[in-house]
Amino acid sequence: MFLRELTMSIDHIKGAGPASIQALANAGILNVAGLISRYPRDWEDRSKIVPLKDFRTGAVCTLVRVLAHDWFIAGGSKTLKIFVEDETARAVLVCFNRSFMDKQLLVGNYYRLWGVFHYRFGEIQCTNFETEAAPKRSETEDAVPGKQSAFGRILPIYPLNTGLSQGMLRKLIHQALTQYGGPLENELPEHIRNRDGLFSKADALGAIHFPESLEELETAKQTLIYEELFYLEILVGRRGMERRNALARFGKDRTEGTVFRPSPLQQRLLDRLPFSLTAGQQEAVADINRDMDYPYPMARLLQGDVGSGKTLVSFLGALRIVEQGGQAAVMAPTELLARQHAENAARLLEPLGIRPAFLTGNVRSSGRAALLKSLAAGEIDVVIGTHALFSRDVVYNNLRLVVIDEQHRFGVVQRQAILAKGEHPHLLMMSATPIPRTLALTVFGDMEVSVIRDLPQGRKPVRTHLARESNETKVYDFVFNELSSGRQAYFVYPLIEADTNRSLKDAETMAGRLAGEVFPQFTVALIHSKLDEEEKRKIMEYFRKGEIQVLVATSVVEVGVDVPNATCMVIEHAERFGLAALHQLRGRVGRGDQQSYCFLVYSDALTEDGKTRLKVMLENADGFVIAEEDLKLRGPGHMTGIEQSGYLILGMADPVRDASRLEQARIDAFSMLEKDPSLSTPEYQCVAQVLNRAPPFGTVGL
């Protein structure tokens, strides 16, 4: 059995009751494999007793004797203080709201104590602690992890969801390992495990949850990290191989730098545009056209900074497919964005005799049935929508191209679901969120990348200004002038409505203030995620038409919205937004030929850290540079848009942090595939079996 084959339900685990099964299900843990794969997010080392005098090392486990109880008044209520000592020092436990502790920690007895101590008021103090009666020697020796003592060992700390507790996860995971962990098969070839001193699968899982020592924990981590990266690279390598083989059979070599030769339909669209394509757009379309000539489905990532005109490129790709009798689906992460694309498609494609359609979860049932019928009958050529595009009841006649806009917003599973609606359709993923090279190589190892480096002609770089909150009237005056000369503006806030705890401005209150006091001559509207779709649609439509001049918003306008006449972007409490979000927001202006402005309004009490971040926005216009800076400031663990969803969801490994392991895994995986593409030699057989019986991530990347 491989771990992923443990698909039996949780009720097979002894001690799992209905409440815990339900709580686990709510957290997405549906079977034994899922339970065992719930790795700890941290570990507390309670294995060693630390002398009290060394309290400064952080959270420590101590063994103390209780000396005395004492009571004092804190905040009007009687509070218990417990004096303890070991051979090295004395300390005080301050029991806020825990006056019952005097019955638990008895004077003269010994206890184990876990907590963080501070030196305060001339004493070593601890306010937040866990205790346990010091066990007799024999008990420590056979304490079963997950069952008895929380002391005397390294304790796993799990990520929790509602209804889950540490104790429950520890108990159930321990039981699951006892029942099913032992005979688990290895997924890594033995020669690699031996070379790197890695654990067997069973040992690695045992030790990741219940390590006996920190060394053991480290080896367990290394084993699981390497295993994930290895299979990632095996999949990447194998896909690359399949494509190369297909191309070889076709007797063609991949030629880069093909010249741009528009197909007849593409040419007709270009003829109707009031502008010509940028060099970057031309190259991207050339790449796509060439890919579509090959016998293997295209897998291309189109990167281009905000405003570089990716949508048009994808429409040109769709035209090519329609010419060949196929259908194209364009998927966007929000209804707002999908609708905007659909409107553009209607404007640009319908005059060419192409039949576009718009499909989201909100399209009403009668219309929806008719739409689905035409889609299945092939009477619709290009369908644009949200994830509704891959709902169960959506059937395509001949889906040949899938375009995923803002692709980092979609998870691997969603990407897979839409692709499954066709028979090996071409895939074009688009994103303005750049990913670091290392990661691109890993996840998109065999994927082609087109980059649009230039912006359309006539675009003037957005002028960015920082402004203190106390200077906001200057900003408002400036915007007033812009509005007076016929332009439009966005005002963005971190909150939708007033929050009693915080002194932040919110969109709702500010919409009222801007409409009533600041811009009474102009039409101000409010848009945020809580409005219903129809309302959002109307507001966007009026804003696009210029009937609304000031759009007050939350970050719903962050992605993709395109209104070229809007020249001002005012972001209040700018320090509350991530750099990637600020860059996206700023990208909403500067989309026409007018000079545009972005004001980052920050609180008067801005921290140093906040200043550094806002300065990055002031000094850089290039999304790639901003992403790199973001990475430096925040550290790789927090890469925007990557950890939340799309690129790669692994368990233990972090392709950025573990870059060197990744490199090694790549070498190992690729050399194996090169030596023995079918992986049939005995030493590779476990890899072949994993791929056949329990494929590691479904499909990564694609």
Task: Decide if 432 contacts 584 (C-beta within 8 A).
Answer: yes
Residue length, the chain? 702
Task: Using the structure block, give the residue that is written with the tokens 């140093």.
Answer: 608
Q: Which two tokens stand for residue 400?
A: 């040949």
Least Å distance, CB 308 to Mg ion, is: 9
Q: Do residues 490 and 588 lie in contact, with contact meaning Cβ atoms separated by under 8 Å?
A: yes
Q: How far is the CB of 346 from ligand ADP (least distance, A)?
A: 14
Interface stretch with ligand ADP, choices 61-69, 70-78, 310-318, 356-364 (CB under 6 A): 310-318
Hey, which residues between 440 and 459 contact ligand ADP (CB under 6 A)? 456
Among 240, 546, 564, 578, binds ligand ADP (CB under 6 A): 564
8 Å CB contact between 570 and 490? yes
Q: Is 567 helix (H, G, I), strand (E, B) or coil?
A: strand
Cα–Cα separations (whole angstroms), residue 37 to 261, 297, 652, 696: 51, 33, 10, 12
**Does 331 engage in binding with ligand ADP (CB under 6 A)?**
no
- Contacts with Mg ion by CB under 5 A: the residue count is 1
Q: Compare residues 573 and 586 and give the one whose CB is closer to ligand ADP.
A: 586
Please tell me whether residue 333 binds ligand ADP under the rule CB under 6 A. no
Confirm or reject binding of residue 278 to ligand ADP (CB under 6 A). Answer: yes
Query: Which runs of consecutive H residues, i.e. helices, occur in 444-572?
Result: 472-484, 507-513, 533-545
Question: Residue 534: how many CB atoms within 10 A of its CB?
Answer: 9
Give the interface segment with ligand ADP, choosing from 2-10, 307-315, 316-324, 546-554 (CB under 6 A): 307-315
Closer residue to Mg ion, CB minimum distance, 168 or 331:
331
Cα 343 to Cα 357: distance, rounded to the nearest angstrom: 10
Cβ proximity to ligand ADP: between 260 and 478 the closer is 260
Task: Pick the stretch among 254-262, 309-317, 433-441, 675-683 that binds ligand ADP (CB under 6 A).
Answer: 309-317
We find the least distance from the C-beta atom of residue 557 to Mg ion, in angstroms, to be 13
Does residue 562 touch ligand ADP according to CB under 6 A? yes
Distance CA 147, CA 210 (A): 11
Q: H or E element: which one contains 224?
A: helix 214-250
CB 630 within 8 A of CB 640: yes
Q: Considering Cα of 614, then 615, then 621, then 623, what sign does the dihedral take?
A: negative
Which residue in 224, 312, 650, 653 binds ligand ADP (CB under 6 A)? 312
Binding partner of residue 442 among Mg ion, ligand ADP, none, CB cut-off 5 to 8 Å per kind: none
**Which of 71, 96, 119, 275 is the binder for ligand ADP (CB under 6 A)?**
275
Give dist(CA 288, CA 261) in Å, integer.
11
**Helix, coil or strand: residue 625:** helix
Q: State which residue has the least CB distance to Mg ion.
A: 560
Beta-sheet pairing, 59-74 with 77-85: antiparallel
The number of beta carbons lying within 10 Å of the beta carbon of residue 67 is 15
Per CB under 5 A, 655 contacts Mg ion = no
- Of 206 and 309, which has the nearer Cβ to Mg ion? 309
Residues 549, 389: Cα–Cα separation, whole Å: 33
**277 binds, options Mg ion, ligand ADP, none, Cβ within 5 to 8 A by partner type:** ligand ADP
Closer CB to ligand ADP, residue 125 or residue 303? 303
Tokens of 213: 């020592």
- Pattern 112-141, ligand ADP, x by CB under 6 A: ------------------------------
CB atoms within 10 A of CB 90: 14
307 binds, among Mg ion, ligand ADP, none (CB under 5 to 8 A by kind): ligand ADP
The interface partner of residue 447, options being Mg ion, ligand ADP, none and the CB cut-off 5 to 8 Å by kind, is: none
φ, ψ dihedrals at 372, nearest 5°: -65, -35
Which residue(s) pair with 447 in the sheet? none
- The option from ligand ADP, Mg ion, none interacting with 411 (CB < 5 to 8 A, set by class) reads none
Considering the complex, state which of residue 311 and residue 603 has its C-beta at the smaller distance from Mg ion: 311
Q: In sequence order, which residues have a C-beta less than 8 Å from that of residue 501 and are 6 or more positions away?
A: none
Compute the least distance from the CB of residue 306 to ligand ADP, in Å: 4
Q: Find how far residue 315's CA is from the centre of its chain.
A: 27
Six token digits for residue 677:
């593409």
Q: Of Mg ion, ligand ADP, none, which one sits near residue 306, judging by CB under 5 to 8 A according to partner kind?
A: ligand ADP
**Which span sits near ligand ADP by CB under 6 A: 10-18, 320-328, 491-499, 559-567?**
559-567
Least distance to ligand ADP, CB of residue 532, Å: 25
Three-state DSSP class for residue 284: helix
Between 96 and 275, CB nearer to ligand ADP: 275
Give the separation between CA 392 and CA 61, rounded to whole angstroms: 54
Q: How far is the CB of 98 from ligand ADP (least distance, A)?
A: 56
Among ligand ADP, Mg ion, none, residue 281 binds (CB under 5-8 Å by kind) = ligand ADP
Q: In what order do the strands lie in the sheet with 463-468?
A: 463-468, 597-602, 566-572, 488-492, 550-553, 524-527
Instruction: Pick one of 304, 333, 385, 696: the residue that binds ligand ADP (CB under 6 A).
Output: 304
Our measurement of the distance from residue 464's CA atom to the centroid of its chain's CA atoms, rounded to an integer in Å, reads 28
Residues numbered 324-343 forming contacts with Mg ion, rule: CB under 5 A: none
Which CB, 559 or 672, lies closer to ligand ADP?
Answer: 559
432 sits near ligand ADP (criterion: CB under 6 A): yes
Decide: 382 and 330 in contact? Cβ < 8 Å. Answer: yes
311 binds ligand ADP (CB under 6 A): yes
The three-state DSSP-derived secondary structure of 13-73 is CCCCCHHHHHHHHHCCCCEHHHHHCCCCCEEEECCCCCCHHHHHHCEEEEEEEEEEEEEEE
In degrees, rounded to 5, the angle at the alpha carbon of residue 282 between the alpha carbons of residues 277 and 283 is 155
Residue 648 identity (one-letter amino acid): L
Q: Give the Cα separation of 19 and 12 in Å (integer).
A: 14
**Which of 281, 567, 596, 640 is close enough to bind ligand ADP by CB under 6 A?**
281
Q: Which of residues 365-394 bind ligand ADP (CB under 6 A)?
A: none
Least Å distance, CB 343 to ligand ADP, is: 11
Which H or E run includes 271? helix 264-272
Does residue 544 touch ligand ADP according to CB under 6 A? no
Q: Contacting Mg ion (CB under 5 A), which of 146, 434, 560, 592?
A: 560
CB of 342 to ligand ADP, least distance (A): 13
Please select the residue that binds ligand ADP; options are 289, 308, 433, 442, rule is CB under 6 A. 308
Number of residues lying near ligand ADP (CB under 6 A): 18
Instruction: List the one residue from 40, 145, 189, 307 that touches ligand ADP (CB under 6 A).
Output: 307
CB of 462 to ligand ADP, least distance (A): 13
Residue nearest ligand ADP, Cβ-based? 309
Amino acid identity, position 489: A
Paired strand residues for 71: 80
Q: Of residues 591-620, which lie at the interface with ligand ADP (CB under 6 A)? A: 591
Does the footprint of Mg ion cover residue 211 (CB under 5 A)?
no
* Site stretch for ligand ADP (CB under 6 A), options 208-216, 273-281, 417-425, 675-683: 273-281
By CB under 6 A, name the binding residues for ligand ADP: 275, 277-278, 281, 304, 306-312, 432, 456, 560, 562, 564, 591
By CB under 5 A, name the binding residues for Mg ion: 560
